[in-house]
Amino acid sequence: MSGTFIGMPKFQTAAKEALGNSQQRRNLQHATGTIRRKRAGVVDELNNWDELRQAGAAIKDNVLSHLDTYLVQLEESLTQAGATVHWAADAEEANRIVTSLVRATGAEEVVKVKSMATQEIGLNEALEVAGINAWETDLAELIVQLGHDKPSHILVPAIHRNRAEIREIFLREMGQVGTPPPTGLTSNPRELAEAARVHLREKFLRAKVAISGANFAIAETGTLVVVESEGNGRMCLTLPETLISVVGIEKVLPTLEDLEVFMQLLPRSSTGERMNPYTSTWTGITPGDGPQDVHVVLLDNGRTDALADQVGRQALRCIRCSACLNVCPVYQRVGGHAYGSVYPGPIGAILNPQLRGTTSDVDQSLPYASSLCGACGDVCPVNIEIPELLVHLRTRVVDEHRGGIPSGEQIAMKGAAWMFSDHRRWEKAQKGAELSGRALGKKDTIGRLPGPLSAWSDARDAPTPPAESFRSWWKREKGDPR
């Protein structure tokens, strides 16, 4: 099974450790750079890209404003089409529902389509406790699972692994859980893909139950949509007798016509393609064709809390394309594990604290996992103002910690506010900085500060203060400005 994110330290601690992994940084730089160039090429082909983004945002905002109505309509459409609808308030309830459904079939294993919702609720781990094997069939998810690893990217979960590492994982692990790789496997991509294909095929043909998520759920027809690139999703959605789909409640779209907008936005923003290779749609049960027992678990798990926040709710527009990860200078250096969630990068920094709350160290730290450069907001296909939400969540975290014994940072900020509130205090502070700059001589940076200040200086190469400030220079050259 994949690793879990339970008990992760705050972002800054995990990021510092990740920065020491030079191989991971090289892997991330190469992979994100490739995806960025592909995305830029196919986006530039469209002269109405901004209009598409605005349309996508408007459709999502309409859904969020009338979510209760559309969800009831979706349930009615699904039920009319022969599916059984279940409602799950949180991860525990969703896992209990899915586990009981699998047990009812008598199956001891399931095949899975790549699904962020099932990763979010820790479904694989819950099934493992129940004695049910869950086999990931997406290639990147398979690498993560076989490597007992954690996903580090929404779209490419094994983006931190290179081909040599994947070959080692396949040789070491595949034979223990199924068809082994061929003798003499190399790190050639074609050979690695063929080894995975052969390994997974026996699981596809044997499985009686499949579990999926859905990229979109159409309220008017009860149609679920899965967008993928490898064909594994199509195998899972058509071969097994029972299909269980775990779908976040924000995935609903009013009509099939709305899908047209997102089928242009999603492939270009995620994989840099004009259209994705496989788009599977299914509407309940079709007699004699595909799964004859279809269940849909509609998952809340903190989404209604996010919906209640008038500013934060725009994070629920997210279509999980990962464009914001690929342009983020912070993500490119630390990777996804430091975010302590299946949702890493800028979108994870605003989504996790809203879905999980801000009680844990890692969720309190995530809004600060950004330089606020704005690149994430510029590329978001549904116009989520990620920098604005980061500041909004930082304010929430600060407000939650008001009162009690002030931290060193709070004392420092109060001191700075006092100093900046009077120009005479600021001028005296500048004089002190000039003296310290002369004392440090030819040093370029101030180095490590003593005591509690070391927490600040350890993370920065702060330059030494100038021996003469601009104000002093002006006064010397031009006279007193007052």
Structure tokens at 371: 């330089």
Instruction: Using alpha carbons only, give the angle 360, 362, 368 rounded to the nearest 5 degrees.
Output: 120
- Name the DSSP class of 272: S
The C-alpha torsion from 115 through 118 and 124 to 126, rounded to 10°, is -170
> What does the pLDDT read at residue 456?
75
Q: What is the mean pLDDT of the chain?
A: 93
Which run of H or of E encompasses 482?
none
The better pLDDT of the pair 410, 315 is held by: 315
3-class SS of residue 373 = coil
Nearby residues of 266 by Cβ (< 8 Å), 6 or more positions away: 215, 227, 276, 319, 321, 381
Number of H helices, E strands in the chain: 23, 10
> What does the pLDDT read at residue 5?
58
Tell me the C-alpha distance between 153 and 143, whole Å. Answer: 13
1 has a pLDDT exceeding 70: no
Number of neighbouring beta carbons within 10 Å of residue 305 = 15
Nearby residues of 307 by Cβ (< 8 Å), 6 or more positions away: 64, 67, 250, 313, 316
3-class SS of residue 468 = coil
> What does the pLDDT read at residue 2?
47
Phi, psi for residue 61 in degrees, rounded to 5: -65, -35
Average pLDDT over residues 240-247: 98
3-class SS of residue 86 = strand
Among all chains, which residue has been given the structure tokens 């969703």?
Answer: 94
CB 159 within 8 A of CB 153: yes
CB 463 within 8 A of CB 473: no
- The 10s digit of each residue's pLDDT in 372-425 is 999 999 999 999 999 999 999 999 998 888 877 777 777 888 889 999 999 899
Phi, psi for residue 195 in degrees, rounded to 5: -60, -45
Please state whether the predicted TM-score (pTM) of the whole model is above 0.85. Answer: yes
13 has a pLDDT exceeding 60: yes
- The 10s digit of each residue's pLDDT in 322-354 is 999 999 999 999 999 999 999 999 999 999 999
> What does the pLDDT read at residue 482?
60
Q: Which alpha helices (H) appear in 82-186, and where do they start and end?
A: 91-105, 116-120, 123-129, 139-146, 163-177
Tell me the C-alpha distance between 1 and 3, whole Å. Answer: 7
Residue type, 27: N
> What does the pLDDT read at residue 452?
72
> What does the pLDDT read at residue 465?
86
Domains of the chain as residue ranges with CATH: 11-304 (3.40.50.10420), 410-478 (no CATH)
Structure tokens at 274: 């004009």
Residue 8's pLDDT band (cuts 50, 70, 90): low
Structure tokens at 318: 């997210």
Residue type, 371: S
3-class SS of residue 344 = coil
Tell me the C-alpha distance between 343 and 116, whole Å. Answer: 8
Nearby residues of 248 by Cβ (< 8 Å), 6 or more positions away: 117, 213, 299, 301, 303
- The 10s digit of each residue's pLDDT in 62-91 is 999 999 999 999 999 999 999 999 999 999
- The 10s digit of each residue's pLDDT in 471-481 is 889 888 988 75
> What does the pLDDT read at residue 304?
97
End-to-end CA distance of the chain: 70
Percent of the chain scored above 70 by pLDDT?
98
Q: How far is CA 229 from the centre of its chain?
A: 19
Nearby residues of 136 by Cβ (< 8 Å), 6 or more positions away: 2, 112, 114, 124, 142, 144, 145
Residues composing the chain: 482
Average pLDDT over residues 347-375: 95
The better pLDDT of the pair 114, 450 is held by: 114
